[in-house]
Amino acid sequence: DVKVTQSSRYLVKRTGEKVFLECVQDMDHENMFWYRQDPGLGLRLIYFSYDVKMKEKGDIPEGYSVSREKKERFSLILESASTNQTSMYLCASSLWTSGGAEQFFGPGTRLTVL
């Protein structure tokens, strides 16, 4: 059974802290994605990666960075957490194709920044 796991389901951090969210997939997928989900806004892409050490900015990269040192692992980093980064964070992976590949999602991390 295919699986995407995220390191935490719930996380509470203080303003200014550095926050690491980790995602691991066991499907040997090339592509990995980090999304942010907020009510009424759907999912918005923060960053994606199509290969080890390769990354591309999504629609809302400000305040975030990512790391992909191994194919199966994709980390999202909040350098200095702020209250407006309180949100649900979803990781996804997919095969590389020219388009139309199904994305597989992790269960999400609900981050609260106080």
Partner 1 sequence: AQSVTQLDSHVSVSEGTPVLLRCNYSSSYSPSLFWYVQHPNKGLQLLLKYTSAATLVKGINGFEAEFKKSETSFHLTKPSAHMSDAAEYFCVVSDAAYKYIFGTGTRLKVLA
Instruction: Give yes or no for a contact between 101 and 1, defined as CB atoms under 8 angstroms apart.
Output: no
String of b and e for 61-94 (b: at least 16 CB within 10 Å)?
Answer: eeebebbbeeebebbbebeebeeebebebbbbbb
Residue 47 touches partner 1, criterion: CB under 8 A: no
Please report, as a single letter, which amino acid is at residue 96: W
Asked if residue 100 binds partner 1 (CB under 8 A), the reply is: yes
The reply to whether 83 sits near partner 1 by the rule CB under 8 A is: no
Under the binding rule (CB under 8 A), the answer on residue 1 touching partner 1 is no
Q: Which two tokens stand for residue 82?
A: 């702020």
Q: Which stretch binds partner 1 (CB under 8 A): 12-20, 29-37, 65-73, 74-82?
A: 29-37
**Residue from 11, 43, 60, 77 binding partner 1 (CB under 8 A):** 43
Which residues in this chain contact partner 1 in the complex, by CB under 8 A?
Answer: 4, 9, 31, 33, 35, 40-45, 48, 50, 56, 90, 92, 96-108, 110
